[in-house]
Structures are given as structure tokens and as C-alpha cells.
């Protein structure tokens, strides 16, 4: 009797594995629009207030900050922009705090804080991170989007070597999410 059920169990396991692979494939696809972003494009901003800190090579924007670059939009309550001045200003890093959202196309990532490192071409978000693409969602503590490789990852906790830290969200230290499945 056990031998008779093995083919059915094997089919069930293979189907379950295929569904898991499809779902995990969705994780990688989930940040493709953001990850394919051109980080060399010019940056524009709009804010309620700007403070230039020339001695620190820093600009502080506050009051419903909106930063755009080649179809990518970052919204936050406050941002600190570090730059270098070698005859022309070049943005090195943006630190965004207060209800941060990053969106491009039909993808939207949100969290408590974010760092956009222009030299490394990496966007790191932390604290109550939520990544949406259509009806698919991922929740976790930290999201890292590598613009150079196109690879994105979500961790359950907002910790690690990143300079962005935050509180673990509702996920309890785990990555959670929902994925759409093809309808027959």
C-alpha cells in the first residue's frame, strides 16, 4: 500500500516544489523595475525647506521631500544628501527618513529609513519594509536593491553591516508575503 501512494506523493511534492520555485521566482522579479534603474541619470528634488551645509558637503531637505531620477521616485519627510565638490557637485549618498517610499513603474517599496549609495549603486531600506508589485507583496525588516547586478533581497530583521537599521516590523523577524498564481 505504501508503494502505491509513492507516485501520488511524489507528484504532490513535485507540484509543491514547482509552486515554491514559482513563488521564489516572484521574489527575484519583485524588484526588477526598481533594480533596473539608471543610477547615472540626473537627480531632481522638491521640498518644503533646504539647508546647505557647505563645510560638511551636505544638503538637508525637509517637508514632504520628493526626489526623482529617471522614473524612480523617492518620497520622505527628510533627507540628508552627501556630495563631493570637485568643481562640480556629485551626489555620493542620500539618507531618507520618515515614511520613506521608493517607486518605479508598478513597483513600490516602503520603510522607515533608506540609504541610496550612489558609489556602490545600492538602495537599502529598513524598518517595516514592504515591497509591492501589483498584488504581490513582501514584508520584512530590511530590503537591499543592488542596482548594478539587478539582485534584490529581503531580510526578516533590519540588521547586518548596512548603515541602515530599524525595528523589525510585523513580520517578527521573518520575511512574509503573498504571490498571485496563474488562473486556469
The stretch 24-29 carries a mean pLDDT of: 40
| Whether the predicted pLDDT of 26 surpasses 50 | no
Q: Is there a domain that residue 52 lies in? A: yes
Q: Are 122 and 102 in contact (CB under 8 A)?
A: no
Could you give the CA distance from residue 171 to residue 19 in angstroms, rounded to a whole number? 22
Q: Is there a domain that residue 7 lies in? A: no
Of 24-33, 43-52, 104-113, which has the strongest mean pLDDT? Answer: 43-52
Q: How confident is the model at residue 159, as a pLDDT?
A: 55
> Count of domains in the chain?
1
Q: Is there a domain that residue 168 lies in? A: yes
107-127 as b/e: b if 16+ CB within 10 A? bbbbbbbbbbbbeebbbbbbb
Name the residue range of residue 73's domain: 31-177
Could you give the CA distance from residue 24 to residue 43 in angstroms, rounded to a whole number? 33
**67: nearest Cα among 110, 100, 92:** 100
Q: Is there a domain that residue 48 lies in? A: yes
Q: Is there a domain that residue 3 lies in? A: no
| Whether the predicted pLDDT of 116 surpasses 70 | yes
Could you give the CA distance from residue 76 to residue 95 in angstroms, rounded to a whole number? 10
Q: Is there a domain that residue 79 lies in? A: yes
R_g (Cα) of the chain, nearest Å: 20
Of 17-31, 92-106, 109-123, 155-169, the poorest mean pLDDT is in 17-31
Of 114-118, 128-132, 175-179, the poorest mean pLDDT is in 175-179
| Whether the predicted pLDDT of 57 surpasses 60 | yes
| CATH at 166 | 2.60.450.10
More confident residue, 23 or 93: 93
More confident residue, 16 or 63: 63
pTM as predicted = 0.72
Could you give the CA distance from residue 157 to residue 128 in angstroms, rounded to a whole number? 9
| Whether the predicted pLDDT of 170 surpasses 50 | no
Q: Is there a domain that residue 70 lies in? A: yes
Could you give the CA distance from residue 131 to residue 122 in angstroms, rounded to a whole number? 16
Of 70-74, 145-149, 159-163, the poorest mean pLDDT is in 159-163
| Whether the predicted pLDDT of 95 surpasses 50 | yes
Q: Is there a domain that residue 6 lies in? A: no
More confident residue, 43 or 32: 43
Amino acid at each position: 500500500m505504501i508503494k502505491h501512494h509513492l507516485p501520488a506523493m511524489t507528484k504532490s511534492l513535485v507540484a509543491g516544489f514547482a509552486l515554491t520555485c514559482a513563488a521564489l521566482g516572484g521574489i527575484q522579479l519583485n524588484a526588477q523595475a526598481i533594480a533596473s534603474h539608471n543610477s547615472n541619470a540626473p537627480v531632481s528634488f522638491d521640498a518644503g525647506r533646504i539647508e546647505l551645509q557647505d563645510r560638511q558637503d551636505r544638503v538637508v531637505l525637509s517637508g514632504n521631500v520628493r526626489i526623482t531620477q529617471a522614473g524612480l521616485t523617492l518620497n520622505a519627510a527628510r533627507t540628508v544628501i552627501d556630495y563631493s565638490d570637485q568643481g562640480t557637485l556629485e551626489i555620493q549618498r542620500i539618507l531618507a527618513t520618515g515614511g520613506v517610499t521608493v517607486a518605479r513603474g508598478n513597483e513600490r517599496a516602503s520603510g522607515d529609513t533608506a540609504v541610496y549609495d550612489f558609489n556602490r549603486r545600492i538602495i537599502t531600506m529598513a524598518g517595516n519594509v514592504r515591497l509591492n508589485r501589483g498584488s504581490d507583496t513582501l514584508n520584512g525588516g530590511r530590503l537591499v536593491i543592488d542596482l548594478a547586478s539587478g539582485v534584490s533581497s529581503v531580510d526578516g530583521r533590519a540588521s547586518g553591516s548596512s548603515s541602515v537599521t530599524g525595528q523589525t516590523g510585523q513580520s517578527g523577524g521573518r520575511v512574509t508575503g503573498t504571490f498571485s498564481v496563474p488562473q486556469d
